Amino acid sequence: MEHQIHENPICGTHEAQTLAQFYDVLSRAERGALMADGHLGYVMPIGGVMAYREKISAVGVGFDIGCGNMAVQLDLKIEKLKLNEFLDQIQRNISFGIGQKNPRAPQDHPLFDRPEWDAYPTPRIRNELKKLAREQLGTVGSGNHYVDIFADSEKSIWIGVHFGSRGLGHRTAGGFLNLSLNKSWDSRVQEVEVLLPLNKPLGESYFAAMTLSGAYAWAGREWVCQTIADLLGAKIVQRIHNHHNFAWRETHQNEEYIVIRKGATPAFPGQRGFIGGSMGDPAVIIEGVDTPQSRLLLFSTVHGAGRIMSRRQAAGRIRGWDKKRKLLSPGKISWPMIHDWLREKEIVLRGGGLDEAPQVYRRLDQVLTAQGNTVKILHTLTPLGVIMAGADEFDPYRD
């Protein structure tokens, strides 16, 4: 069923559970929209956009606060790139997977002196999170997080990355969600929506901690992109950078809102964004435009191609991790299916898993078409190499 753009617009086609989740959250918001790459999430669907009046939802922003995409164009042409050697260098210098630390991370980064650290409720929590954040700055994680190497139509090389705030954001979200339910910070997290007024101490503290987590995610992506450019001895000639799990204070149609985008990219007129497809498909650099449709979408667009198959459907039922990993029942995707797809397109994959196969995602060009006249494509980026954590990596920080 195709949904037309209306007062609370839904773009594209979605499963009944995703729509039910969207309408449930919308019942507590002032305005909302669902992007064409939407799918089921924790309480709020991925691809959902919600606007509130002076309230914020920790579970709406999500557990990977500040997750986002960054793309940089290098002053390097494809004929100068030794792809396999370059991928080796990236794997040696960038950390992928659960629990990884980054020994090269700058310990004196200014974000560790920001005043928002005081938003955490106790010195113990603040010190534990700051230590974790120092260790994990610039680590990519696993799941659908990646580093991609692209070429554009002019044969220029681009680097694209996708990841968020790692353990800092995950623990921030869970801790403040617990506090909003009158539970202790370290309690087991219950995934329910609680709207925190921003004129109350808890809402004010969460907004500050969310802002800090977003700055941390931003700094991590900047570090990875700059490090990769340095490995090549290349200069960055342009940067495109956006969060897509975050909340902003915005004005729409002369009304001020707190706008939460969970798996949705801000796309105000003239604002550029990087949107990745699957590991086996092109990505795009887009720019927002001012149209009636884009206003109804609260100047938002997709953040990726969008899943059409759950991780369990794709990879099967699995118990345990690493050496204790056991396949209980197979899924719909096999490694030959992935290899055939990538071989045809001459894409080199390092790491990855069955649950991230191209077959589990929509096609990005179709998703963008379903968004209507809301963005324009500036560049189409052809993937050359993709690096992700291996199939046995478990990542509690993905969202």
User: In this predicted model, what pLDDT tens digit does every residue of 84-143 receive, in sequence order?
Assistant: 999 999 999 999 977 788 888 888 899 999 999 999 999 999 999 999 999 999 999 888
Per-residue confidence (pLDDT) for residue 341, from 0 to 100: 95
User: In this predicted model, what pLDDT tens digit does every residue of 55-90 receive, in sequence order?
Assistant: 999 999 999 999 999 999 999 999 999 999 999 999
210: alpha, beta or left? (left if phi > 0; alpha if psi -120 to 50): alpha
Per-residue confidence (pLDDT) for residue 325, from 0 to 100: 65
* Alpha helices (runs of H) in the chain, residue ranges in sequence order: 16-26, 58-61, 83-93, 123-136, 166-180, 201-232, 292-296, 311-315, 335-345, 364-370
Q: Are 150 and 347 in contact (CB under 8 A)?
A: no
* Residue extents of the structural domains in the chain: 16-390
Please state the rounded mean pLDDT for residues 303-309.
92
Confidence of residue 376 (pLDDT cuts 50, 70, 90): very high
- With CA atoms as reference, report the closest residue to 109 among 138, 148, 67: 138
Per-residue confidence (pLDDT) for residue 289, from 0 to 100: 97
- With CA atoms as reference, report the closest residue to 68 among 169, 146, 163: 163
Q: Is a pLDDT exceeding 60 seen at residue 393?
A: no
How many Cβ atoms sit within 10 Å of the Cβ of residue 20? 13
- With CA atoms as reference, report the closest residue to 394 among 337, 292, 340, 320: 320
Per-residue confidence (pLDDT) for residue 395, from 0 to 100: 40
Report the relative pairing of strands 348-352 and 375-390 from DSSP bridges.
parallel
- What letters, b where the CB count within 10 A reaches 16 and e where it falls short, cover 246-269? bbeeeeeeeeebbbbbbbbbbbee
- With CA atoms as reference, report the closest residue to 390 among 166, 91, 188: 91
User: In this predicted model, what pLDDT tens digit does every residue of 180-208 receive, in sequence order?
Assistant: 999 999 999 999 999 999 999 999 999 99
User: In this predicted model, what pLDDT tens digit does every residue of 314-332 receive, in sequence order?
Assistant: 877 766 655 666 766 778 9
How many Cβ atoms sit within 10 Å of the Cβ of residue 369? 12
- CATH 3.90.1860.10 applies to domain 16-390: yes
Per-residue confidence (pLDDT) for residue 392, from 0 to 100: 52
Q: Are 12 and 370 in contact (CB under 8 A)?
A: yes
